[in-house]
Chain A
């Protein structure tokens, strides 16, 4: 298509060169922060002061990573971000699995077992995807307090399930709409019940949407900060909150290499998921964002 923009071959080649140059610049812009983080995390503080953002480390050191993991100060405690990293897994895994499974069931009901009011409910729920969470955190904080779940990982799991479900339901509902209803009605005639149809017919078809939904939820829950900072405390904080405490605590000399190592640790799980399953990640992003 682009070939016809230009009339002669030299212009075409110059145009192509310019095109690639612009794209290369853009690639550098997007890569820069990651490269800087990685390089800085592998330097000593003396090295950081002597060099600049993108200077090669004099010597590759893992000291900052070790310190970030096990002895850096995050607010009051000085035990690194390691335990908070595991907190995040403890929060993320159950929250993702439960909200995804409930989303699948909801999507199944909302498409294959519609009843009066189910569409209206879906609309009401969809609306819930859009509200700024600031408008619910205060009542939720009080409710968690009443339930004895304040400052617990269980409480955070609960919150993530409640506010993640609108999205998971949306994903599955939009996927199941395109599953032919004849499959379900044929099975009904054969006497199969609600759950039989779900287990035997619907679930085996659902692998792609499960992947999309799990990746989306994993990224959302892992990267959450607002719920983490409001509903957790002390040693139940997720990694994002610990990272923020580490970076923005004003005690002692600032160790940028440790900050960057901690940021890398916080970023790694989602980056790994993105590298391994980027295709599904993007699909979730577009589906979730456009519709939600």
Chain B
């Protein structure tokens, strides 16, 4: 009662006072309601906060800790420092996987960007049936990588697939054995992944093209600039942010690539098409080397962060400038 009187006397009732009041005496119903209204949003968000902190950040730390231990089939906590990382870097299978992610990721990103830009520009020429064409380009994104892998595994089948098709067209000497050729198998992954994701990149660029101010283009035309010149000098530079985000998305897809490899090549022949993601899975769950597997997972995280942090940084800086 006393606090109530003083604040009334003061004439102003700050929220802090209201809070103090209601917690002190559980007073009037309106105060209680206010208190609830203040805590409700936090309460609603609380489960998500807990889950994020525990299941994302907590688990990353946990995996980090495991990567410093001798864990094999079961996690244990005999710390060995960075021995697992040393072992990882000496591991032949890991170096194949790292090289593969560079080849696969590099080609996949470059080809997707190229096809995406070209197709978007072509589609932006007042094409009849543009909607249906776009639909066809994009449907692979709705499929699981397992389905994609299964389909391409059959198409690239060395006996009955593409090879037979070309033979039936009359080119009897045609050979296509990439799927079972250790030197070429990695490129089958590129083909399937490009098929799946390039339509999506096209959609991103098409949206970007539609956002370019047409009056600038018209002005350049009036000045006598040719269309290829306009694309090179005006439109493509405008699409820089799209290139940027497409790059981020594609590299993210590449680093996470796991399903496609499992379905298309199973990492084979031998381990010729292993990627870090499949290495991590096989090492941890099939070969019972949890410590080593955790170290490889942490390396993957490291690469993602190395790509992501500069991106987020430049995004945030960009927003602050605007």
Contact = CB atoms under 8 A, between A and B. Distances in A.
A132 B304 contact: yes
A142 B75 contact: yes
Interface residues of B, number: 98
A102 B146 contact: no
Contacts of A26: 119, 133, 137
Contacts of A19: 122, 125, 127
B227 A225 contact: no
A290 B262 contact: no
A202 interface: no
B143 to A, nearest CB: 5
A113 B43 CA distance: 12
B1 interface: no
A211 to B, nearest CB: 15
A118 B44 CA distance: 12
A134 B277 contact: yes
Interface string A210-253: 00000000010011111001100000000010011001100000
B249 A32 contact: no
Contact of A263 (B150, B167, B168): B150
SS of B interface (majority):
helix
B259 A226 contact: yes
B44 A109 contact: yes
A265 B49 CA distance: 38
Given A131-B56, A225-B146, A274-B142, A30 B136 contact: yes
A121 interface: yes
A271 B127 CA distance: 25
B68 to A, nearest CB: 14
B125 A260 contact: no
B308 A282 contact: no
B207 A131 contact: no
A285 B259 contact: no
A282 B203 contact: yes
Interface stretch (B81-89, B102-110, B153-161, B179-187): B153-161
Interface in B120-178: 122-127, 133, 135-148, 150-155, 157, 160-162, 164-165, 167-168
B224 to A, nearest CB: 10
Interface stretch (B8-16, B20-28, B292-300): B292-300
Contacts of A195: 40
B271 interface: no
B2 interface: no
A29 B137 CA distance: 9
B55 A225 contact: no
A286 B119 contact: no
B139 A37 contact: no
B72 interface: no
B37 A193 contact: yes
Contact of B140 (A30, A115, A134): A30
A23 interface: yes
B256 A286 contact: no
A57 B146 CA distance: 25
A247 B150 contact: yes
A54 B136 CA distance: 18
Given A5-B227, A53-B165, A290-B249, A125 B52 contact: yes
B73 interface: no
Given A132-B301, A270-B144, A105 B44 contact: yes
Given A1-B217, A109-B44, A259 B52 contact: no
Nearest to B57: A124
B60 interface: yes
Contact of A285 (B52, B141, B301): B141
A27 to B, nearest CB: 5
Contacts of B293: 138
Nearest to B285: A230
Interface string A20-54: 10110011011111101100100000001100111
A106 B42 CA distance: 10
A136 interface: yes
B216 interface: no
Interface string B263-284: 1001000000000110011001
21 contacts: A1-B126, A1-B217, A26-B133, A30-B199, A32-B155, A37-B151, A53-B155, A102-B47, A105-B45, A124-B57, A132-B255, A135-B60, A138-B284, A223-B144, A224-B144, A229-B281, A256-B160, A266-B144, A271-B143, A285-B203, A286-B204
Given A5-B226, A134-B280, A223-B146, 17 more contacts: A27-B137, A29-B195, A34-B139, A37-B151, A48-B160, A102-B48, A106-B44, A131-B304, A136-B55, A136-B59, A136-B63, A226-B258, A247-B150, A260-B150, A281-B138, A285-B141, A286-B207
Interface of B: 33, 36-37, 40-42, 44-45, 47-49, 51-53, 55-60, 62-63, 66, 75, 119, 122-127, 133, 135-148, 150-155, 157, 160-162, 164-165, 167-168, 195, 199-200, 203-204, 207, 214, 217, 221, 226-228, 245, 249, 252, 255-256, 258-259, 262-263, 266, 276-277, 280-281, 284-285, 290, 293-294, 296-298, 300-301, 304, 308
